[in-house]
């Protein structure tokens, strides 16, 4: 029998060729699948890289969550997947802002500000996805690299309620060297028993040279607050935003009225006895405005040089001017200037051209700048008369004439 001809030989020589092609194909398929798997893994891990940014205050628990511990922050992880991690962290930045821990207790006034306006939120339409480092809040880099540490505040806005404290804090936050808690911690009045470690944990991370701040306007009228703050640090800088006590009282009343529309009129709450014209100084709306009395308590624990009194009126008429004084007092470079503000006619107040962490103009929420009810002129006149001696004393103590009795 004739040996297999070329036709018969062909399959034998072709067989290793097709096997080699097949092997190459298999190899390519394997590497394709491996690449896909690696990409998938990277994407999955990137999801977890935002840990430190999204965890709530004191969220050591998230850091210890299974499968996440090794991934929580750290330049090492960033070095492994620099681009992806970096981008992801930026994308997570705005949600982190929305998840910022609420204060242990704060009134509805502040809650309204804590909710991020849609323009600030991440996601479609928001600035989050398009955020650049330049737009990110001060200290963002520290967060990106999980750097910095939580410090007790070196400066506190201690009052006064309805003085314009929120406006001042939000304006100050524009400064790259200021980092502040969004909500009111109420530590030195309501939560002192929780201890300084708890308080510190509420604070944002800061880098060297950055100032940690908070604002809780009720501290100014809390008897224990001066001694407690001094016990934390005698060097704490104290800022008080003061406003004409009559307008302040009406503003305070307006806030209560917005929550409880059935309360008695301002006029009836003002007097112990309307016929004798005796003012009810036990009503907190009236009591808070006796600034000289409250200040006396503070001066037992702090020198006046460690306190700055900001005019609530000028904070509206000349925000940059007041911010200039505040930056000087805090030892900060004057970075916040009139270029940062514009007057919003609809709101009737100065607003920020760019809020912290955003490139968009921003005004305070609707709980700031409410329309006050019309108050009986005679009642207003009587109140002015009541406050005058206390105001004059206050001007004397602070060395500043706030012009409420002009
Ligand atoms: N820029 C800007 N935008 C809006 N509102 C401003 C601003 N600057 C000062 N104010 C005044 O701030 C008043 C509220 O003060 P506080 O933020 O200290 O109130 S609170 O104690 O925290 O509830 C608030 O009081 P009302 O007008 O009575 O609502 C405002 O008059």
DSSP 211-228: EEEEE-GGGGG-TTHHHH
Known catalytic residue at 150? no
At 399 the three-state DSSP class reads: coil
Which protein residue has the closest C-alpha to ligand 1 atom 9? 164
160 preceded by a cis bond (ω within 30 of 0): yes
pLDDT in the model for residue 117: 32
Q: What is the pLDDT of residues 251-291, one digit of tens each?
A: 999 999 999 999 999 999 999 998 999 999 999 999 999 99
Q: Which of 48-62, 175-189, 256-270, 359-373 has the lowest mean pLDDT?
A: 48-62
Q: What is the pLDDT of residues 92-112, one digit of tens each?
A: 333 333 334 444 333 444 433
For residue 104, the 8-state DSSP code is S
CB distance 259 to ligand 1 below 6 Å: no
Q: How far apart are CA 290 and CA 400, in angstroms?
A: 16
Residue 364 CA, ligand 1 centroid: distance in Å: 8
**Cβ neighbours for 30, distance < 8 A, ≥ 6 positions apart:** none
Query: Could you tell me the strand order of the sheet in which 155-159 lies?
Result: 178-180, 211-215, 155-159, 237-242, 307-311
pLDDT in the model for residue 32: 74
For residue 127, the 8-state DSSP code is S
pTM, entire model: 0.72
Which residues contribute to the annotated binding site for 3'-phosphoadenylyl sulfate? 162-166, 243, 251, 368-372
- Bridge-partner residues for 240, per DSSP? 159, 309
**Tokens representing 158?**
């201690």
Nearest atom (ligand 1) to Cα of 247: 28
The helix or strand, by DSSP H or E, that contains position 240, with its residue range, turns out to be strand 237-242
Closest-CA residue to 401 (of 326, 311, 312):
311
Contact indicator for 398, 304 with CB cutoff of 8 Å: yes
The residue annotated as part of the active site, out of 24, 88, 150, 162, is 162
CATH no. of 149-246+285-369: 3.40.50.300
For residue 338, the 8-state DSSP code is G
Residue 258 CA, ligand 1 centroid: distance in Å: 15
**pLDDT tops 50 at residue 49:** no
15/218: higher pLDDT: 218
Residues present in the chain in total? 406
CB distance 187 to ligand 1 below 6 Å: no
Residue 173 CA, ligand 1 centroid: distance in Å: 16
How confident is the model over 200-226, as a mean pLDDT? 98
Q: How far apart are CA 158 and CA 280, in angstroms?
A: 24
CB distance 217 to ligand 1 below 6 Å: yes
7/300: higher pLDDT: 300
Write down the domain spans for the chain.
149-246+285-369
CB distance 119 to ligand 1 below 6 Å: no
ipTM of the complex: 0.99
Closest-CA residue to 89 (of 78, 101, 76, 100):
78
Q: What is the pLDDT of residues 363-399, one digit of tens each?
A: 999 999 999 999 999 999 999 999 999 999 999 999 9
């Amino acid at each position: 029998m004739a040996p297999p001809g070329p036709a018969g030989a062909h399959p034998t020589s072709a067989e290793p060729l097709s096997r080699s092609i097949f092997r190459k194909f298999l190899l390519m398929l394997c590497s394709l699948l491996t690449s896909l798997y690696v990409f998938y893994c990277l994407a999955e891990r990137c999801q977890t890289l935002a840990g430190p940014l999204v965890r709530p205050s004191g969220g050591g628990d998230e850091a210890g969550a299974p499968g996440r511990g090794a991934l929580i922050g750290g330049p090492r992880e960033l070095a492994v997947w620099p681009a992806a991690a970096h981008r992801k962290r930026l994308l997570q930045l705005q949600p982190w802002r929305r998840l910022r821990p609420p204060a242990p207790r704060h009134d509805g006034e502040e809650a309204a500000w804590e909710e991020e306006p849609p323009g600030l939120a991440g996601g479609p339409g928001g600035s989050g996805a398009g955020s650049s480092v330049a737009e990110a809040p001060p200290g963002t880099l520290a967060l990106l690299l999980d750097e910095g540490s939580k410090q007790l505040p070196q400066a506190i806005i201690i009052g006064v309620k309805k003085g314009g404290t929120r406006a001042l804090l939000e304006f100050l936050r524009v400064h790259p060297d200021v980092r502040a808690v969004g909500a009111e911690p109420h530590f030195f009045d309501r939560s002192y028993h929780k201890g300084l470690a708890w308080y510190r944990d509420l604070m944002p991370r800061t880098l060297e040279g950055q100032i940690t701040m908070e604002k809780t306007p009720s501290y100014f009228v809390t008897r224990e607050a001066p001694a407690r703050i001094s016990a934390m640090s005698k060097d704490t800088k104290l800022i008080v935003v003061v406003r004409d006590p009559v307008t302040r009282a009406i503003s305070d009343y307006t806030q209560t009225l917005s929550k409880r529309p059935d309360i008695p009129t301002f006029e009836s709450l003002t007097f112990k006895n309307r016929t004798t014209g005796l003012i009810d100084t036990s009503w907190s709306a009236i009591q808070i405005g006796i600034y000289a009395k409250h200040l006396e308590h503070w001066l037992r624990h702090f020198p006046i040089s460690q306190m700055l009194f900001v005019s609530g009126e000028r904070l509206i008429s000349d925000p940059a001017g007041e911010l200039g004084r505040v930056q000087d007092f805090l030892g900060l470079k004057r970075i916040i200037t009139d270029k940062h503000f514009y007057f919003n006619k609809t709101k009737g107040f100065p607003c920020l051209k760019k809020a912290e962490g955003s490139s968009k103009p921003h005004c305070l929420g609707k709980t700031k700048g409410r329309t006050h009810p019309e108050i009986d002129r005679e009642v207003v006149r009587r109140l002015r008369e009541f406050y005058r001696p206390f105001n004059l004393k206050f001007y004397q103590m602070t060395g500043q004439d706030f012009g409420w009795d002009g």
